Amino acid sequence: MRAVGLITEYNPFHAGHEYHLAQAKALSGADIAIVVMSGNFVQRGIPAMYDKWKRAKMAVQNGVDLVIELPVAFSIQPGPFFAKGAVEILLAAGVDTIIFGAEHAEWNFMKLAEQVRESTQQAAEFHNYKQTFASNFNAVLLDELGISIQDPNDLLGLSYALAVLELGAQDQVMIRAIQRKGQAYHSTQISQESFVSASGIRNALKNKSMQTKVLHSLPIGTQSLLLEPPFLDYEQPMWQLLYYKVMTTPVEQLEKIYQLNDGLAYRLLDIIGHSPSGHQVDWNTFMQCFKSKRYTYSRLQRSILYTLLNVSEAEMQIALQKPYLRVLAFNSKGQLWLKHQRKDFNLPVISKVNQNNLQEYLKLDLRAGRLYNILNNRGDNMPQDTNRQPYRLPKPSPERNENDEMEF
């Protein structure tokens, strides 16, 4: 058996993802599709629309064979760290091909990565601290290679290729791009195009009158989620938690939080301290005040999430050195893969949470799950990371033995 790997957020799973999955299986000739999916918080540092269990279930209902969680230490990072964690997990899970969507699928991303790695090692532009990393990176590409990469999916594709090089896996895995179709990545509008962006779907679902309009763009395995209340309105509870955290923590301690250095802790304290109220502040207005030329919105949003999770620099560095395979969902083919290939996995496999793996691997994910439930007004009545088992898509046969669900 052969496996193809996909790196996703599925926030939510839509027709474009369905196309990506079908193309990945067809182009690779693989027997199963293994997905690494961000957990309860996505790369931009905000909560996912639905929790990781619902999104993983949605994925296997739409044809994915095995869903593995991308730990929060990697999922809420900029592209290079995000990509390295995801690629390392897919390699450990045994895939021989990784297929991703790109705006310029005709590019040879591996060849480009080799050129980029050689050109950027000593580039002076990376010492221009008044610009964002993305701006510096593109300045190097333009100066050294004569190209500029602006589209998020192209940047991620390059990050995947660079991760393969860094992991020394050029002979182990092939990466391949497929052409993205439909709306632009950040488009928030709903049109008649068959592939509506995830941003457009999320925007439409905020308005109940538009939910039926967006139904046509969602695969059958996703539509049932619309019957459940979506998790969208996180801004106000996040603001309240942030206000309390910043106003009750000495700034010297805030500076110890991961990536809240270089004056960001003082800037955050100043902005929040001068806000008119700890309970009635528009989130977008606050973010505009917090924004600077040096940092992107996503970088600052992630900094806020690190603050709410109380993640120190040391704690994050330890977590980044300990990737693992956290199984969220699978079908019968994914179960067989786990059963027969598990002996060859070179990372720990976590399907049932216990005290040992909670302390060794899942400390950050446990905190992230609790924060997600607080923001979603759930408390801890339905924990995200304890007393949970992977979802197994029921077999078509009525003779299926329920007691065999977790055998792998």
Binding residues for ATP: 7-20, 101, 153, 180
CB 225 within 8 A of CB 14: no
User: If residue 21 lies in a helix (H) or strand (E), which one and from where to where?
Assistant: helix 15-28
- How many residues in total does the chain contain? 408
Burial label, 207 (beta-carbon count in 10 A; 0-12, 13-18, 19+): exposed
Q: What are the angstrom distances between the C-alpha of 230 and each of 227, 234, 309, 373?
A: 9, 11, 23, 13
67 SS3 class: strand
Show binding-site residues: 7-20, 101, 153, 180
Long-range contacts of 290-293 (CB under 8 A, 24+ apart): 292/267, 293/130, 293/131, 293/132
Place of tokens 């593109």: 138
| Beta pairing class for 97-102 and 3-8 | parallel
Burial of 139 per CB tally in 10 Å (0-12, 13-18, 19+): middle
The answer to whether the CB of 399 falls within 8 A of the CB of 327 is no
Joined tokens for residue 107: 């590019």
